[in-house]
Amino acid sequence: MSRSDWLTCFSLSLVLLLIEAAPPPPTTLRQAADRTNFLVSAAVRPGLFSEAAYTVTLAREFNMVEPEDAMKWQVIRRNADTFDFRPADEVVRFAQAHSMKVRGHCLVWDHNNPEWLSHGGFNSVQLSRILQEHIAVVMKHYSGQVFAWDVVNEALDENGRFKDSPWYNQPGIGLSERGAAYVEQAFRWAHEADPRALLFYNENECEGLNRKSDAVYAMVKDFKLRGVPIDGVGLQMHIPRLDFDSASVAANIARLTVLGLQVHITELDVSLPLDSTGQPQDVDLQRQAEIYREVVRACLENPGCTAIQTWGFTDKYSWIGSHTQGTRGAALPFDRTYKAKPAYDAIFSVILVSRRRPD
Ligand code: XIL
């Protein structure tokens, strides 16, 4: 064999070797996210695990899940003296079977509580005991299985003031009218219960810079300065308008992560007006895709923003329908037949070209 034949042969083998060694390009959100060590997640309902299209899509597209309702008080504490972990355990089992992470939601909220709690006439000493016990029992049950928890959900109103709540001031756990003291107490109990879990404060309508996000920022900054155990802020991101301001969201994510906190986008959906047949307009679906693209980009561009979670994943099952009496919908990346929408392509393409590298 001549020298040039030998060289050609050598180069060809090298090219073939490289082609074989290179992993195939990602074709799903999950594959794209795994490659960049990013979490893509969806809120799920275990009652739907019997639907093959639901579970197949979920396991193929996401590397994390969060129970939409199954870890709330109204499910786990339907009765005062027992803990019913069955629905939430189903979610954890599903996640483990498919090597997905589990995010927990939520331990302290003024909504979705059982009657016996809301109308039980408990005094502050009793409520404090009930809450501490709940946090301890639930977090220990899922210790090592749920890696991050929304400890407190939606404590503030749109002006950044603490909302009335059984845990705060009606009658509260004994820290009534002392601002964030009850939130702090819940984080301290959560850390005691499971020191390895990441602890998040989760809030709505404070994704960009506004009065409410200023109040969240002030509270978590103070927590960080005083060593209150908090690891992150969840920005819900239920988007009901199509005039989305991504620069404002990026700035808010930036100021939170500068504090050394993680940010998770926790409940992303972009709801659209529906016509009389229940359909969105094509032009809105395109704008929706743009908004998804901007949200995912704002998160991926900041290394402290480590997860994106949609609130459900198929338009077949989304809380928006009941929440808006059917006037809005089509809010998620998959349509009612589990077909990927323009929003899906937008999320996928942003993750695919992300410059973020694995840890
Ligand atoms: C919603 C669920 O999607 C519904 O199924 C349930 O009936 C009510 O709660 N903010 C939150 C979520 O933090 O827990 C809410 O989820 C949506 C708003």
Residue 203 falls in the annotated catalytic set: no
The confidence score (pLDDT) of residue 22 equals 79
The confidence score (pLDDT) of residue 23 equals 80
The confidence score (pLDDT) of residue 4 equals 64
63 CA to centre of ligand 1 in angstroms: 21
Task: Check if 69 has its Cβ closer than 6 Å to any atom of ligand 1.
Answer: yes
Low-confidence residues of the chain: pLDDT under 50: none
Task: Check if 68 has its Cβ closer than 6 Å to any atom of ligand 1.
Answer: yes
Q: Which atom of ligand 1 is the closest one to the Cα of 153?
A: 13
* Ranges of H-type helices in 262-337: 282-300, 320-323
Determine phi and psi for 309, rounding to 5 degrees.
Answer: -130, 130
The confidence score (pLDDT) of residue 55 equals 98
pLDDT tens digits for 271-285? Answer: 999 999 999 999 999
pLDDT tens digits for 217-237? Answer: 999 999 999 999 999 999 999
Residue 301 falls in the annotated catalytic set: no
181 CA to centre of ligand 1 in angstroms: 25
The model carries a pTM of 0.94
- Nearest-10 Cα torsion for 256, 214, 267, 95: 40
Atom 15 (ligand 1) nearest CA: 68
69 CA to centre of ligand 1 in angstroms: 7
* 51 vs 168: CA distance, rounded Å: 40
Q: Out of 61, 154, 184, 294, which one is annotated catalytic? A: 154
Three-class secondary structure assignment of 72-130: CHHHHCCCCCCCCCHHHHHHHHHHHHCCCEEEEEEEECCCCCCHHHHCCCCCHHHHHHH
The confidence score (pLDDT) of residue 355 equals 76
65 CA to centre of ligand 1 in angstroms: 15
